[in-house]
């Protein structure tokens, strides 16, 4: 799949959960060295993560942010683990440039968690190695002094979507839904994020994966509509066609092609 839909966090100090997370159905697994790991367990967690990759495991590593006591050790430990992609928390241009300079050739997910990170986002997306943006909605809300993390932060989400497009990046990753027991809550969050232009979501529990994957996949109705659009376009001589009694021009034709491309990745 070219664009993962679900990213499942797993604590770096819990190697017993690594394989379970990889088999959860999540499109990607994030081995966390940051928030999920206490200060006294950082070295242990880092060793477990490095061992996972050396044994052939795959995934993304959320390292500790620049300016923390553990950042340099994280970079050093991952220097020769070339199969590990990186997620940088509290991503801002200078920190991203520092990271990509130390770990060249890596695919980097920039986790937008600060007001400064949002304000400088259009610089961040130009840094070589940055392939996708993710929204750290909880940390961002705290930094922005906004007590809620849902629709109240949609203006920030909109800027992340626009910056991703300007930078030629994959569709961004929405932040977490904290209530993993409420299926309707995550389905609602996914629906809103997808409508805004997001293509994936961070998951904090395996129970969220199925709803996230389904929500970011084209529905059967969308696929059928897209097929009718493409079929009508093939029959027509021009670039404007009529489908289901409605005019369909270039933007909607492109949307139909995107739906079919997404459906192919979903079923592959």
CATH number at residue 170: 3.20.20.60
Cβ atoms of residues 105 and 82 within 8 Å? yes
Can you give the residue range of the structural domain that contains 248?
A: 220-267
Nearest by Cα to 30 from 69, 6, 62 = 62
In this structure, are 234 and 160 located in the same domain? no
User: What percent of the chain stands above pLDDT 70?
Assistant: 88
Domain count, the chain: 2
Domain assignment of residue 98, yes or no: yes
When comparing pLDDT for 4 and 235, which is higher? 4
In this structure, are 34 and 164 located in the same domain? yes
Q: What is the pLDDT of residue 220?
A: 67
In this structure, are 86 and 163 located in the same domain? yes
Whole-angstrom distance, CA of residue 214 vs CA of residue 219? 8
Domain assignment of residue 1, yes or no: no
In this structure, are 173 and 237 located in the same domain? no
Alpha-carbon torsion 213, 87, 207, 175, what sign?
negative
Whole-angstrom distance, CA of residue 200 vs CA of residue 193? 8
> Domain ends where: 200, 215, 230?
215
Q: What is the pLDDT of residue 127?
A: 97
In this structure, are 33 and 84 located in the same domain? yes
Is 44 part of any known ligand binding site?
no
Q: Is the pLDDT of residue 194 over 50?
A: yes
- Structure confidence by residue, pLDDT tens digits, 38-83: 999 999 999 999 999 999 999 999 999 999 999 999 999 999 999 9
Q: Is the pLDDT of residue 29 over 70?
A: yes
CA 263 to chain centre: 18
> Domain ends where: 215, 231, 246?
215
Domain assignment of residue 236, yes or no: yes
| Averaged pLDDT for residues 140-151 | 92
Alpha-carbon torsion 14, 15, 17, 22, what sign?
positive
Nearest by Cα to 30 from 80, 70, 75, 88 = 88
Is 43 part of any known ligand binding site?
no
The encoded tokens of residue 88 equal 């940088």
Q: What is the DSSP letter of 12?
A: T
> Domain ends where: 173, 200, 215?
215
- What's the mean per-residue pLDDT of the chain? 91
In this structure, are 86 and 142 located in the same domain? yes
Is 85 part of any known ligand binding site?
no
In this structure, are 179 and 228 located in the same domain? no
The encoded tokens of residue 120 equal 């400088």
DSSP 161-209: HHHHHHTTPPPPEE---S-TT-HHHHHHHHHHHHHHT--EEEESSGGGH
In this structure, are 96 and 153 located in the same domain? yes
Q: Is the pTM of this model over 0.75?
A: yes
Domain assignment of residue 123, yes or no: yes
Q: Is the pLDDT of residue 256 over 50?
A: yes
User: What percent of the chain stands above pLDDT 90?
Assistant: 76
Q: Is the pLDDT of residue 247 over 90?
A: no
- Of the pLDDT bands very low, low, confident and very high (cuts 50, 70, 90), residue 1 is very low
Domain assignment of residue 59, yes or no: yes
Q: What is the pLDDT of residue 246?
A: 73
In this structure, are 112 and 180 located in the same domain? yes
Nearest by Cα to 213 from 53, 7, 52, 32 = 7
Orientation angle between helical segments 154-166 and 183-196, nearest 10 degrees: 50
CA 143 to chain centre: 21
**Phi and psi dihedrals of 114, rounded to 5?**
-130, 160
Whole-angstrom distance, CA of residue 44 vs CA of residue 81? 17
In this structure, are 164 and 206 located in the same domain? yes
In this structure, are 33 and 117 located in the same domain? yes
- Structure confidence by residue, pLDDT tens digits, 31-48: 999 999 999 999 999 999
Q: Is the pLDDT of residue 166 over 70?
A: yes
In this structure, are 66 and 160 located in the same domain? yes
């Amino acid at each position: 799949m070219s664009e993962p839909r679900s990213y499942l966090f797993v604590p770096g100090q819990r190697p017993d959960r690594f394989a379970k997370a990889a088999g959860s159905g999540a499109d990607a697994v994030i081995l966390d060295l940051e928030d999920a790991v206490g200060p006294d367990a950082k070295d242990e967690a880092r060793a477990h993560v490095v061992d996972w990759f050396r044994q052939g495991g795959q995934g993304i590593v959320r390292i500790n942010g620049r300016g923390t006591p553990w950042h340099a050790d994280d970079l050093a430990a991952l220097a020769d683990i070339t199969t590990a992609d990186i997620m940088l928390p509290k991503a801002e241009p200078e920190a991203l440039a520092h990271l990509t300079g130390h770990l060249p050739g890596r695919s980097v997910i920039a986790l937008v968690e600060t007001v400064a990170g949002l304000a400088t986002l259009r610089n961040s997306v130009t840094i070589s190695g940055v392939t996708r943006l993710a929204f750290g909605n909880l940390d961002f809300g705290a930094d922005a002094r906004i007590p809620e993390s849902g629709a109240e932060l949609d203006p920030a989400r909109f800027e992340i979507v626009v910056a991703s497009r300007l930078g030629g990046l994959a569709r961004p990753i929405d932040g977490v839904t904290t209530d993993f027991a409420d299926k309707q809550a995550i389905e609602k969050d996914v629906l809103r994020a997808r409508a805004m232009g997001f293509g994936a979501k961070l998951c904090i529990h395996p129970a969220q994966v199925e709803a996230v994957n389904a929500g970011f996949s084209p529905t059967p109705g969308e696929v059928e509509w897209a097929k009718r659009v493409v079929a009508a376009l093939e029959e027509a001589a021009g670039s404007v066609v009529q489908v289901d009694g409605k005019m369909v021009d270039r933007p909607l034709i492109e949307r139909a092609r995107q739906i079919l491309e997404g459906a192919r990745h979903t079923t592959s």
